[in-house]
Chains A and B, each alone.
Chain A
């Protein structure tokens, strides 16, 4: 199937940007879902060894994907340890 696609792309090069952007969008959506499933502290896959990951939040860890002005690793930790 890939060979057919390559052959048709040669005669219709306008489809190349289409593949690029749609493919990029699909890849970004899949990466978002993967990050949500694997990194979100609200998600627990292994109920026996990791039952409540939302209770193990660290004060200096950056949970968001991107920060503009904050450096969470530099936050002072002024709360009691459990």
Chain B
């Protein structure tokens, strides 16, 4: 989850998010280098007493400052496109979960084998137990087996919502009447938080998403328990 005064991304919990993190570091480093260079040139131009009014053109420097930015842009574009195609690959999921957005809660349906469905409401602030996170916890979490490719089909029941979990690198709009597909694989067990990312009314900030990745036996026990409760 995010922590106070956080500047960077949350720790990655999926391989795609790791790739995104590395790409961001790579691109940000290029941006910092260019900005530092430009700032240095500005300061140097402004603080010098030397003047030269008679240089009209120079072919060599023009070639350099056309080629160099083009190379830098290619250096940014190639990893970017690679990650874009990587995120879209269909990777033979083990489990398909439907996440439906409602005003103002999410509902999850695991219908591959049995008919398991439940709603996921935010825990109100006055009902939090010590150690729980304000505005992020839900009464039922979306439990998934760790290290397995999961497909999530996202849609909505009423207005636009968006199903987002930053540490997995996922954001998928929930559009009424439309089925959007996203897939991910968690590389480590844990609890991953996200919040609804499309304005949907009064309680848009109060419909979080919690994904809990557990070993397969725990997932099987959990789903049997949930089926009995339903």
A interface residues with partner B (beta carbon < 8 Å): 12-14, 16-18, 21, 64-70, 75
B interface residues with partner A (beta carbon < 8 Å): 59-60, 62-63, 66-67, 70, 81-82, 85-86, 88-92
Q: Can you report 24 A-B residue pairs in the complex whose CB atoms are below 8 A from each other? A: A13-B63, A14-B63, A14-B66, A16-B63, A17-B63, A17-B66, A17-B67, A18-B66, A21-B70, A64-B85, A64-B88, A65-B85, A66-B81, A66-B82, A66-B85, A67-B85, A67-B89, A68-B86, A68-B89, A69-B86, A69-B91, A70-B89, A70-B90, A75-B92
Closest approach, in angstroms, between the C-beta of B97 and any C-beta of chain A?
A: 20
Taken together as a complex, chains A and B put the C-alpha atoms of A68 and B86 apart, in Å, by 6
Q: Is the CB of A68 within 8 A of B85?
A: yes
Residues of A within 8 A of B60 (CB): 14
Residues of B within 8 A of A12 (CB): 59
Residues of A within 8 A of B85 (CB): 64-68
Given A12-B59, A14-B59 in contact, is the A69-B70 Cβ separation under 8 Å?
no
Taken together as a complex, chains A and B put the C-alpha atoms of A18 and B81 apart, in Å, by 23
Taken together as a complex, chains A and B put the C-alpha atoms of A17 and B65 apart, in Å, by 10
Taken together as a complex, chains A and B put the C-alpha atoms of A66 and B87 apart, in Å, by 12
Of all chain B residues, the one with the shortest Cβ separation from A13 is B59
Given A13-B59, A14-B59, A66-B85 in contact, is the A21-B91 Cβ separation under 8 Å?
no
Of all chain A residues, the one with the shortest Cβ separation from B59 is A14
Taken together as a complex, chains A and B put the C-alpha atoms of A67 and B81 apart, in Å, by 10
Residues of B within 8 A of A21 (CB): 66, 70
Residues of B within 8 A of A64 (CB): 85, 88
Closest approach, in angstroms, between the C-beta of A20 and any C-beta of chain B?
A: 8
Q: Is the CB of A17 within 8 A of B90?
A: no
Residues of A within 8 A of B59 (CB): 12-14
Closest approach, in angstroms, between the C-beta of A13 and any C-beta of chain B?
A: 5
Closest approach, in angstroms, between the C-beta of A26 and any C-beta of chain B?
A: 14
Residues of A within 8 A of B82 (CB): 66, 68
Closest approach, in angstroms, between the C-beta of A54 and any C-beta of chain B?
A: 16
Closest approach, in angstroms, between the C-beta of A25 and any C-beta of chain B?
A: 10
Taken together as a complex, chains A and B put the C-alpha atoms of A4 and B21 apart, in Å, by 49
Taken together as a complex, chains A and B put the C-alpha atoms of A13 and B85 apart, in Å, by 37
Taken together as a complex, chains A and B put the C-alpha atoms of A22 and B144 apart, in Å, by 48
Taken together as a complex, chains A and B put the C-alpha atoms of A17 and B82 apart, in Å, by 25
